[in-house]
Structure 1
Amino acid sequence: MSKDHAETGNLQPHLNKLGAALDNYLKFEHPDAYFSINEWQTKLDEALPQTGVGIDEVLKILTDTIIPNGSPVPNPGFTSFITTGATTASTLASTASSIASPQRYLRTAFNYVEELSLHWLAEMCGVKHLQGIYSSGGSVANLVALGGARQWAFEKQGHDPALHGIDRATRIYASHECHHTIQRSGGVLGLGRRAIKAIPCDAGGRMQTEPLVEAIESDLREGILPVAIVANAGSTNTGAIDPLSDIGKIAQQYQIWFHVDGAFGLPGILDERLADHYQGIEMADSVIVDPHKWLGASVGVAATFVRDREILNRAFTQEPADYLEGSAVDISEEKTKIEHSLDDFGIPYFDYGVELSAPCRGIVVWAMIKEIGVAGMRDRIVRHNDMAYRLADIARDHPKLELLDTPTLSICCFRYRAPEIKDLDQFNQRLHRQLIRENTYMPSTTRINGQLALRPCFVGARAEMYQVDGLVEAVIRIGDNLINN
């Protein structure tokens, strides 16, 4: 097909075929993609097409070759990393926006829902006093929040860092358990990765406040400018929640921006059993949460919340561009009124973060909350936490298992053990690789106080309690076989 006739047909029949292929994939009856890598890679490996094959052939390749050899991430037994497959509501909403509103701008229903969903998400997660903006993930969400912190810290010194750059040494305080995107944010923002000061944690992975105060006092004596204190509301490693209230008071005492990284764990606030762990969140100057983690959004949806988005405007605003400045009406002028969606860009998210082009992420969050409500989200969070708690109880009592960390959220760290095993770390590493290759239960590993642990993190909307028992049975069976063979 040499000419562009790709859009002359109807979407419906193609979507029906695509939906059927995806439904079949979600049965998870297929082997892992690597099992037949030579076959599908050979089919896909071709030179740049000079002549097109048409949409029907493209759809056939998608449904017959690419989708069946997709990622294990949506599998309910996948508990390796804090990511998951999208729920149906998320998939439908993102598909709708990709056609009906490719960008989040202009005065449309999608732009309106972008803001509405931010209000909903903030209220649901206990930070309704903050204003938000979506981005692609925790990496950018942390960058945006710390960009606001940098702007605020330097403005107090009478300097505009976004306009003039950095003119002195700075510091960001974060625990040893902070996500590595904090260091990357320091590098991107011109503060330097070495500006991140690692604060020791207690045995439970929570930031200790005494070393934090000591570090701040030492830096102040050296003339180093404190930019932010970063606390975890659910660390990536173990799900630990830092003492937010104590850290918030320290931030207030020293007038330092208080940032809470809740990319994974902030939705845990919906579990009423954990309410005390989140006390102090109201003191935060910025908070992030990734709906594409625990809430079931398609990957590429994160949110940054700050007290006043104007600080983000000053930190990230673009210089004027001829092709933009006259493209919308000036509603400040007398008698000017909006008569078309192109008359107004809507809420100017492009000045609150680092993305100009951006999809409508809010429609995804809106759809998920609208579908099951706060009550449905709470039930999911509680179920996942209960899965970790049940696994912890089993590991604590089982003679062949050992619990290495008591879970706070939906992460449980444990391992197989037996008296005849000389090197438990090496043994459990071997066990883990065999477990993964069975393609049914797929946790990751980590180290807890130097000891290697199996680390399932239950966040998938399709994850159910029965999978805990299945995981335990598989670990014990594989461990027994490794000992006996």
Structure 2
Amino acid sequence: MHRDAAETGDLQALLAQVGAALDQFLRFEHADPVRTNHEWRPRLDTALPLQGIGIEQVTDELITYLIPNGSPVAKPGFTSFITTGGTTASTLASTAASIAAPQRYLLTAFNFLEELSLGWLASMCSIGHLQGVYSSGGSVANLLALGAARQHAFEKVGHDPAAAGVHGRVRVYATREAHHTIQRAAGVLGIGRRAVRPIACDAGGRMEIADLRRVIAEDRQAGVIPMAIVANAGTTNTGAIDPLLAISEVAREHGIWLHIDGAYGLPGILDERKTHLYRGLEHADSVIVDPHKWLGAAVGVAATFVRDRELLRRAFTQEPADYLEGAVHQDAPSPTAEHSLDDFGIPYFDYGIELSAPSRGVVVWALLREIGVEGMRARIVRHNDLALRVADAAREHPNLELLLEPTLSICCFRYVSPDVPNLNRLNQNLHRRLVRENRSLPSTTQVNGKLALRPCFLGARTEVTHADELLADVLRIGAELVSELVANGTKSSENIQSGHNTLNL
């Protein structure tokens, strides 16, 4: 039977079915999708359909084959990357917006919440002196901030880089701990990835002020334009926070744009034990934060804040199009509007690189309306406490070693044994076996040349039990691997088969 594209079915009933399937998913009783791909892949890997099957059958396939075989990111024991499954409030808000306000523009309630929620977010994070715009994630958020910095640096020497192109050599200063999207942003903005000059870090992964001063002095002597200093308010690697106040003093002394990447760590300011680490934030020219990290939004919500949004407009404005600007009365103040189509509202499309963009403000609004600042503070404190809990265990247990004191909710530690000479390889194999058990799912990183297990606690559903399970799993698997090694009579080069692993120590 021919199915018309306009036939949508009973939305309420269908959403109820999908919601029940998602509730079941959140019990996390299902296997990893790689283990079951022989079941779902053949049912999904079909030819392009010439005739549709209808919305009811599509819903059934969503429930049967997709939802149970989704990502482990939402699991409470997932502590690998700095992302998480969206909370219920995030899901409800984004679902509502996808139908009721599929674009963030026009004079609607959703458009109103874009600016309102940006103000809430800035106030909560103590950057109320800045103006914001939402984007899809930290990659774009950093790009927008550095685009404003580029515009600022060149306008100071009488040049408009967005209109006329980039001329001359510029420099961005960032440590190797800065997120790699900084280099990509430099490439996209036309200043080149090599324009990002690395600044040394101390043993804790924080920017060395003396090296920053030295490098800036060298570049000034060479006639290079210092464009921006990028400081970290919580690195993705270890959660380190650069000395923001000291960096801000250098930036002000030289008239250099100060950008603070707080994509992950900026909400850490809510933990009063950590607030002092953010001194200097008030001097930033731009700051980013990703609500889809620590605040519980589903992936696709980031925010860039700058002192003056007109810099963003000059950096990213699009040329007018008759079908857009000509279709509304933008010259009339919005209070005189008689229809939501009379005005686009705040022109966010001129403050970034997205014309089409979903309503993201409603997600942040829903998150904060649900639990408020104090609820967010409690979550941040809980996650930081989980990192401290793991750190305390690593200090006390003879088979664990703490590699770096936690700053925020990341803890870097490893399993150790006197019977194993290659601890990096041991922990690498331990990590792979840990992941394949599909309960405790941290990532790894390098800390001063040592491979570390690196849980980052930020999921709204992650509790004390999950930190304790991680510790128990690491100790159990580590002991098993060392026992296998000793039983096979090798300490260096023989291979030990360990499930799907080959353990070569």
Q: Deviations over 1:374-424 (max 9, x none)?
A: 000000000000000010011011111000010000000001111101100
Q: What residue identity is the alignment partner of 1:10?
A: D
RMSD of aligned Cα (Å): 1.1
Native 8 Å contact 1:331 1:337 kept in 2: no
Q: Deviations over 1:246-277 (max 9, x none)?
A: 00010000000000000000000000000110
CA distance in 2, matches of 1:330, 1:64: 48
- 1:190 and 1:64, CA in 2 relative to 1: closer, same or farther beyond 3 A? same
Structure 2 equivalent of residue 344 of structure 1:
343
After superposition, residues 356-371 of structure 1 pair within 5 angstroms as 356-371=355-370
Q: What residue identity is the alignment partner of 2:397?
A: H
Structure 2 equivalent of residue 424 of structure 1:
423
List gaps (5 residues or longer) in structure 2. 485-505
- 1:189 and 1:73, CA in 2 relative to 1: closer, same or farther beyond 3 A? same
Structure 2 equivalent of residue 67 of structure 1:
67
Q: What residue identity is the alignment partner of 1:377?
A: M
CA distance in 2, matches of 1:168, 1:254: 19
Structure 1 equivalent of residue 170 of structure 2:
170
Q: Post-superposition shift, 1:5?
A: 5.1
Q: Post-superposition shift, 1:482?
A: 0.9
After superposition, residues 185-334 of structure 1 pair within 5 angstroms as 185-332=185-332
Q: Deviations over 1:41-68 (max 9, x none)?
A: 1111111100000001101110001111
Q: 1:476 aligned to 2:497?
A: no
CA distance in 2, matches of 1:318, 1:247: 34
Q: Deviations over 1:60-89 (max 9, x none)?
A: 110001111000000000000000000000
Native 8 Å contact 1:6 1:54 kept in 2: no
CA distance in 2, matches of 1:302, 1:227: 23
Native 8 Å contact 1:261 1:289 kept in 2: yes
CA distance in 2, matches of 1:27, 1:420: 39
CA distance in 2, matches of 1:213, 1:327: 52
Q: Post-superposition shift, 1:10?
A: 2.0
Q: Post-superposition shift, 1:336?
A: 9.5
CA distance in 1, matches of 2:261, 2:279: 14
Native 8 Å contact 2:162 2:315 kept in 1: yes
Q: Deviations over 1:294-334 (max 9, x none)?
A: 0000100000000010000000001111111211114448x
Other structure's SS at 2:198 match: strand
CA distance in 2, matches of 1:88, 1:332: 39
Q: What residue identity is the alignment partner of 1:124?
A: M
CA distance in 2, matches of 1:336, 1:53: 47
Q: Post-superposition shift, 1:127?
A: 0.3
Q: Post-superposition shift, 1:7?
A: 3.2
Native 8 Å contact 1:287 1:305 kept in 2: yes
- 1:98 and 1:410, CA in 2 relative to 1: closer, same or farther beyond 3 A? same
Q: TM-score normalized by structure 2? A: 0.95
CA distance in 2, matches of 1:458, 1:6: 43
CA distance in 1, matches of 2:55, 2:361: 30
Other structure's SS at 2:132 match: strand
CA distance in 2, matches of 1:2, 1:427: 59
CA distance in 2, matches of 1:336, 1:271: 40
Percent same amino acid among aligned pairs?
A: 65
Native 8 Å contact 1:330 1:336 kept in 2: no
Native 8 Å contact 2:285 2:307 kept in 1: yes
Q: What residue identity is the alignment partner of 2:201?
A: C
Please identify runs of 4+ aligned residues in structure 1 that moved more than 3 A. Answer: 5-8, 330-333
Q: What residue identity is the alignment partner of 2:102?
A: P
Q: Post-superposition shift, 1:469?
A: 1.3
After superposition, residues 360-439 of structure 1 pair within 5 angstroms as 360-439=359-438
Other structure's SS at 1:303 match: strand
List gaps (5 residues or longer) in structure 1. none
Q: Deviations over 1:196-255 (max 9, x none)?
A: 001010000000011101111111111111110000000000000000000001000000
After superposition, residues 47-126 of structure 1 pair within 5 angstroms as 47-126=47-126
CA distance in 1, matches of 2:3, 2:383: 51
Other structure's SS at 2:401 match: strand
Q: Post-superposition shift, 1:483?
A: 1.3
Native 8 Å contact 2:186 2:195 kept in 1: yes
Native 8 Å contact 1:244 1:279 kept in 2: yes
CA distance in 2, matches of 1:359, 1:58: 24
Other structure's SS at 2:234 match: coil
CA distance in 1, matches of 2:130, 2:175: 24
CA distance in 2, matches of 1:360, 1:320: 22
Q: Post-superposition shift, 1:40?
A: 1.0
Structure 1 equivalent of residue 24 of structure 2:
24
Q: Post-superposition shift, 1:6?
A: 4.6
- Aligned residue pair count: 484
CA distance in 1, matches of 2:383, 2:434: 21
CA distance in 2, matches of 1:190, 1:481: 52
Q: What residue identity is the alignment partner of 2:162?
A: A
CA distance in 2, matches of 1:173, 1:480: 44
Q: TM-score normalized by structure 1? A: 0.99
Q: 1:36 aligned to 2:36?
A: yes
CA distance in 1, matches of 2:104, 2:447: 42
CA distance in 2, matches of 1:348, 1:37: 45
